[in-house]
Structures are given as structure tokens and as C-alpha cells.
């Protein structure tokens, strides 16, 4: 039996009270850049390992070691160049087509920004909205249903369809908040369960008349009326749509909410210290319901913008992995609305570039998922990044404002 105290295993982090609560902006940037670079380095190793020629050269490594390195270098360079060309600019494209990569980046970034804002909003109130997936589904369903089942004038139809998406998300998110406030059920568990309930609901609807598209052979919804579609911003071949403006507007709104409004102040108070907020006379439960409803509404808008802006109809995979990617976006954006925009653009660019990378160099697009996860992992553990890149100590990692366990 060991009698040692765990004191020597304690990590050398300063006490919470003494360390500065917010890391200095410059150092935050440095950690972010280092995290991206670190992830890219790990990604480079994966690309080299996955490259068949590099593996072949490694077979005779001892006779010609240089072959392995040069092949690996070419594979990594080609993949990352293709990634950049697919996300930003490609010299092969001219005229309007030159805007193609940027347009794809923005199309991918739009739902990520909206979803990221949803997660960030909940984070700021001390809640973890892992249920973005279900809220996106409900938003998509609400928007699509109003989009094809109702018959309305052009402008109004779009507005109501967006509202339908918003309401779908508000319902699904608010339910999570209500369950937490009323019964104390932890939001992480209820939202994971509601994700699956939403998915099954979607599958049910996609096999039901009135929602499914005739002749009822495929699991796809009816087509949304042209009058309810979000207009394209740059004309036909480029897919970037007005959902982007919606996302930017939402970011401004969230920023206003937290920095200027009374409701936002209360929400932040609940996030900072629920006990203190309760003592100050705020209704913590009600504010948690409001926060989850708002968060769900933003995620619902992400679903609506996918349906009304990109696909025009709902399929079983309408939500993709938006709900989970949104968590990484919120973490990278450090729960700041404008940070979320930046993070959404970065990950949207990675997604758009990843498709290009897969088609020209054959490196699977799944690599982007690894990069994304690694970036967030490094961001979430600043002590690790500082140790690797030998930076000076700063503040804590992201997510520190969250309650840790199930019990709270």
C-alpha cells in the first residue's frame, strides 16, 4: 500500500485565483498558430505514410534513404498545395471560375459559423450543447416543410421558411434546457439522446407521404419552392448563398447580446457563477432554458440554410457532421462570435480544400477531420502546446468555464 500524497503528481499550473483569467490576445494567437502548425506537421506524417510510393521507397530505406524523404516531401507538398488551391485560389482557373474555391470555402463555412455560434452561446452560459446535430435536423425539417408545403409570395416565403428552421431548433434546444432546469438531467446526455431521436424522426418523415417526394422510391423530401430558396450571391455556377450573410448577421447579434443587452448580462452571470446569479435574484433555470433555446435556434438556422441555400431538399444526411464540427469551431473561436467566424472560415476552407485534395492527389478527405481534431486538441491543452513550442506560460485552455461533471 502506498502512502505517498499525490502532491508530486500535481501539474505545475498556477492556482486559479492567481493566474490571469483571460490569456493575453497575442499569446492566444500564438497558441492558435502553433496548434495549426502542429496539426499540419502530424498531417504531413500521415500523408507520407499513406503515400504508396513513399512506402515502396521505405522498403529499401537502408540503400537509398534519400528516396523515402524526397517521395514523402513531394506527396506532402502536392497534397497541401491541392488543399490550398481548393480552398483559396488556383492559378488554373480564370474569369468567374477563379472565385470558385473561395465560394466553396464560404459555402462550407456558413453552417459551421451558425453551428459554432450555437455551441459558443451555450458555452458562455456554462452549458455544453452537444445536440447541434438534432437541432440542425429539426431546423432543416422545419424550413423544408414550410418551403414546399406552404404557398406564399416570394419574399415572405423565404422569411417564414427561415423562421420554421429557427423554431425547429428552438424547440429541440429548449427541450434540453427545460429538462435540465426542471429535472436536473445533464444536458450532454439528453442532447445525445435527442440527436438520435431527431435522426429517427427524420427517417420516419422521409418514408411518409406528404413529406417524401413522389414517386416514394427514395428517402428524399419534396423540393423546396424556388421562392423560398436563399438567393445565390455571385450568380449561377458559384454556390455561395445568402445564408452567409445570415451567419454574419447572427454573429453580430450574438456579440450584441453578450456585450450590450440585459439578457446577455444575465446569461453571462449564470455562466460565470450560477450560485451567485441565483443569489442576485436571477432565475437560473429559466435563463438556462432561454440559452438552450437560443442556441438551438442558431443550430436550426444552420440546418435551414443548408436546405434553403444548398440542397433544396432534405435527405437522411442533411445534417452531415455539422453538429459535431460546430463544437470544434466554437472551441477554436474561443467562444467569441468573431472568433467563431474565423474558425468557421478556416474549417470551411479545410473542408473545401480537402475535396480538391482527394480528387487531384488521392489523399482521402478524412485527413481534414484528423487535422480539425488535432487543432482543437492542441488548443484545448495549451500547456502541451507551450511545452512543445517552448512558449511562456499564459492563461488556461478553452472550455474552462464549463462545469466539469455530470452532477452540476
Distance CA 133, CA 152 (A): 29
Binding residues for other proteins restricted to 42-101, rule: CB under 8 A: 46, 49-50, 52
Distance CA 230, CA 232 (A): 7
Task: Give the nearest distance from C-beta 2 to other proteins in angstroms.
Answer: 5
260, burial (CB in 10 Å: exposed 0-12, middle 13-18, buried 19+): exposed
102 close to 136: Cβ distance less than 8 angstroms:
no
Q: Which three cell numbers stand for residue 393?
A: 506560460
Site string for other proteins, 266-305 (x = CB under 8 A): ----------------------------------------
152 near other proteins, rule: CB under 8 A: no
Residue matched to cell numbers 478553452: 398
Stretch that binds other proteins, among 104-112, 135-143, 286-294, 380-388 (CB under 8 A): 380-388
Q: Between 192 and 242, name the residue whose CB sits nearer to other proteins.
A: 192
Distance CA 262, CA 258 (A): 8
Which residues have C-beta within 8 Å of that of residue 203, sequence separation ≥ 6? 219, 316
Distance CA 160, CA 147 (A): 8
327 near other proteins, rule: CB under 8 A: yes
Q: Between 158 and 363, name the residue whose CB sits nearer to other proteins.
A: 363
Task: Give the nearest distance from C-beta 233 to other proteins in angstroms.
Answer: 30
Distance CA 126, CA 121 (A): 9
Binding residues for other proteins restricted to 178-237, rule: CB under 8 A: 179, 182-186, 188-190, 192-194, 196-197, 200-201, 203-204, 207
400 near other proteins, rule: CB under 8 A: yes
In angstroms, what CA-CA distances link 321 with 132, 217, 378?
9, 25, 21
Task: Give the nearest distance from C-beta 320 to other proteins in angstroms.
Answer: 13
| Residue selected from 381, 389, 393, 395 as contacting other proteins according to rule CB under 8 A | 381
| Residue selected from 95, 153, 215, 404 as contacting other proteins according to rule CB under 8 A | 404
Task: Give the nearest distance from C-beta 99 to other proteins in angstroms.
Answer: 29
Task: Give the nearest distance from C-beta 187 to other proteins in angstroms.
Answer: 10
Which residues have C-beta within 8 Å of that of residue 89, sequence separation ≥ 6? 98, 101, 102
Distance CA 269, CA 22 (A): 16
Task: Give the nearest distance from C-beta 117 to other proteins in angstroms.
Answer: 17
In angstroms, what CA-CA distances link 135 with 114, 158, 354?
12, 19, 26
223, burial (CB in 10 Å: exposed 0-12, middle 13-18, buried 19+): middle
Question: Residue 387 gets which letter from DSSP?
Answer: H
370 near other proteins, rule: CB under 8 A: yes
Stretch that binds other proteins, among 148-156, 232-240, 269-277, 367-375 (CB under 8 A): 367-375
Binding residues for other proteins restricted to 329-358, rule: CB under 8 A: 331
- In the complex, the residues that contact other proteins under the rule CB under 8 A are 1-6, 9-11, 13, 46, 49-50, 52, 128, 130, 179, 182-186, 188-190, 192-194, 196-197, 200-201, 203-204, 207, 324-325, 327-328, 331, 363-364, 366-374, 376-377, 380-381, 383-384, 397-400, 402, 404-407
Amino acid at each position: 500500500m502506498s502512502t505517498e500524497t499525490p502532491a508530486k503528481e500535481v501539474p505545475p499550473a498556477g492556482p486559479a485565483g492567481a493566474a490571469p483569467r483571460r490569456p493575453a490576445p497575442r499569446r492566444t494567437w500564438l497558441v492558435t498558430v502553433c496548434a495549426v502548425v502542429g496539426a499540419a506537421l502530424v498531417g504531413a506524417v500521415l500523408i507520407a505514410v499513406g503515400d504508396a510510393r513513399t512506402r515502396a521507397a521505405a522498403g529499401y530505406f537502408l540503400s537509398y534513404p534519400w528516396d523515402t524523404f524526397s517521395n514523402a516531401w513531394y506527396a506532402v507538398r502536392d497534397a497541401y498545395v491541392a488543399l490550398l488551391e481548393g480552398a483559396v485560389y488556383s492559378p488554373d482557373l480564370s474569369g468567374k471560375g477563379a472565385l470558385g474555391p473561395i465560394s466553396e470555402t464560404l459555402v462550407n463555412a456558413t453552417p459551421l459559423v451558425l453551428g459554432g455560434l450555437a455551441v459558443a452561446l451555450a458555452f458562455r452560459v456554462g452549458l455544453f450543447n452537444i445536440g447541434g446535430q438534432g437541432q440542425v435536423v429539426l431546423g432543416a425539417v422545419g424550413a423544408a416543410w414550410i418551403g414546399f408545403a406552404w404557398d406564399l409570395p416570394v419574399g415572405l416565403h423565404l422569411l417564414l421558411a427561415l423562421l420554421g428552421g429557427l423554431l425547429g431548433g428552438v424547440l429541440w434546444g429548449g427541450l434540453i434546457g427545460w429538462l435540465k432546469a426542471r429535472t436536473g438531467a445533464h444536458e450532454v446526455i439528453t442532447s445525445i439522446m435527442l440527436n438520435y431521436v431527431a435522426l429517427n424522426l427524420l427517417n420516419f418523415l422521409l418514408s411518409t407521404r406528404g413529406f417524401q417526394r413522389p414517386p416514394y422510391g427514395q428517402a428524399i423530401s419534396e423540393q423546396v419552392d424556388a421562392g423560398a430558396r436563399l438567393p445565390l450571391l455571385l450568380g449561377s455556377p458559384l454556390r455561395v448563398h445568402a445564408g452567409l450573410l445570415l451567419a454574419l448577421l447572427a454573429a453580430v447579434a450574438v456579440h450584441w447580446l453578450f456585450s450590450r443587452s440585459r439578457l446577455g448580462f444575465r446569461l453571462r452571470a449564470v455562466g460565470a457563477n450560477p450560485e451567485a446569479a441565483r443569489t442576485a435574484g436571477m432565475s437560473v433555470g429559466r435563463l438556462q432554458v432561454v440559452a438552450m433555446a437560443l442556441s438551438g435556434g442558431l443550430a436550426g438556422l444552420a440546418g435551414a440554410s443548408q436546405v434553403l441555400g444548398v440542397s433544396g431538399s432534405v435527405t437522411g444526411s442533411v445534417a452531415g457532421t455539422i453538429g459535431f464540427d460546430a463544437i470544434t469551431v466554437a472551441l477554436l473561436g474561443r467562444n467569441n462570435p468573431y472568433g467563431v467566424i474565423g474558425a468557421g472560415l478556416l474549417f470551411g476552407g479545410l473542408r473545401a480544400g480537402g475535396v480538391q485534395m482527394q480528387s487531384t492527389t488521392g489523399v482521402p478527405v478524412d485527413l481534414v477531420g484528423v487535422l480539425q481534431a488535432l487543432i482543437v486538441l492542441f488548443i484545448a491543452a495549451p500547456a502541451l502546446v507551450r511545452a512543445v513550442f517552448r512558449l511562456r506560460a499564459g492563461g488556461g485552455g478553452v472550455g474552462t468555464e464549463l462545469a466539469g461533471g455530470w452532477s452540476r
